[in-house]
Chains A and B, each alone.
Chain A
Amino acid sequence: MQQVFKRPVSLKDVQTHFCPGCHHGTIHRLVTEAMDEFDVQKRTIGVASVGCSVFLYGYFDIDVVEAPHGRAPAVATGVKRARPDSFVFTYQGDGDLAAIGTAEIIHAANRGEDITVIFVNNTTYGMTGGQMAPTTLVGQKTSTSPYGRNQQKDGAPIRMAELLAQLEGVAFSARVAVNSPKNIIDAKRQIKKAFRYQVEGKGFSFIEALSACPTNWGMNALAANERVGSEMADYFRLGVFKNTDNM
């Protein structure tokens, strides 16, 4: 018998702090798998953000710089410009990327920085206890939207993958989900595409991964997983929004 499924080399063999059913672990594995596949682990510099994603360096066996909340794309810009031969990616949550860090993500994307951004959208601030995020769905109850997100007062959830696809500097933008084997296999394919853009020096690539947060959604893991494929994917449509190689 041969081993047909094993842990990626770039992913440390340690227990994570993520809650049961949280999709961060799956996304970590897919990103490190792509890293192994392109053989970039040794020249990778990851940029960690603030939120549940901050412990990137605890799980990825790569060099890591920790950025202030929302500033990962600016930090990654400095890293990549100073070390153009390195493989640079950021790993950010929705509060980090789509609220406090909107200026940094939009301008790094618009400059066409040769980096890859992994954006984990779970419609809430996980680390701080489930507050309303820029991606919280209309009507969704959170600890700071106890009556449900009100579109008239709070606005509608931001669709980052579509928004960034509009910018000239963006080479690749896709939204994936990891709630089923089929979606996971597709997510893996898209992450590899995003990586290839950087490996080939073709510019900014962006992956938005829909993710479950069972704890802060007040659901069990299976129900939360189900919500990703139904309610979330209904609003945040899966797909590739920009793929310059096909243009």
Chain B
Amino acid sequence: MAEDTGTLPDQVVPTRDPASENGSGSPGSADPGAADVPDLDAPPERRWTWRTRLWRDKSLLIMTAPAVLLLVVFNYIPMFGSVVAFQYYDIYNGFRNSPFIGLDNFERLFRDPNFWMALENTLTISAVQLILYFPVPIALALMLNSLMSTKLRSFVQSVVYLPHFFSWVLVVTIFQQMLGGAGLVNTLLRNGGLPTIDIMTDPDTFALLVTSQAVWKEAGWGIIVFLAALAAIDPTLYEAAAVDGASRWRRTWHITLPGIRGVIVLMLVLRLGNALTVGFEQMLIQRKAVGFQASEVLDTFSYYYGVVTSDFGYGAAAGLFKGVLSMILIIGANKLAHAFGEDGLYRR
């Protein structure tokens, strides 16, 4: 975010390498409250012109260009397709010739109880995932970080990474093979003359089931970012604390967690921005198992009411609604992060 340094007030000298500033730990950068002071003065005077800044950051800009290009081609251009949400879209006429119907699709959407049910399910599953899934990679990273043997560490790391590369079909199948009605656990119970337990097809505990599947599949992958943040903490802080007789727990509480707080908040903001995306394939595969009342989320709603039944305009309206809501969520979360003095997605 080197461009942002230009907006910093005069007394802060822009650094060439913003990474070192982040790396030195958030405690220092965590009080940009000082930036509020010059508000009393005239608007911050720009030290460098736009052109010189462009020149200064040229290598960074060139490096981001391919990613930006991908974003434009695969994310921004397709956004114009959202126009379908305002049409009776017909694949044989295309969006140029399909009739415009204004907000009819949205009116229908807001009157549709199944849509509200999908939204409610999405929020429930998202909340459960936030509480039960989000802390898991952090805890895993802390545990891994405390392992001394690098060999053991990389072995454990590889093992927990692996499920990330499995498809959801495979993950759900593995769960079904282990916990399903004809799976390992229930077969053992049955052979032991015990009553079987219904895990895979119980709609009441579905949110827990999808969260545990998500933990199994993605938690290992999620630790990468936190491990990197942990590695950036200055080891002399630990040494000094240890010399002062700080216990392991106190070191974690006073050095490690504050050290990775910025990253945790960033991940939380991103997570909230994605709060309405709770796993399309996962829901699709298990729809019959638990029924639509437990598994219908906004993404599957768009799919079933848009694509499957060829009511594309309606599905697109649901998708667009989700996009707008996600946008509001991510901006809100970012503002909240700023209010708590964290960086959030970008430095204010």
A and B: real partners? Answer: no
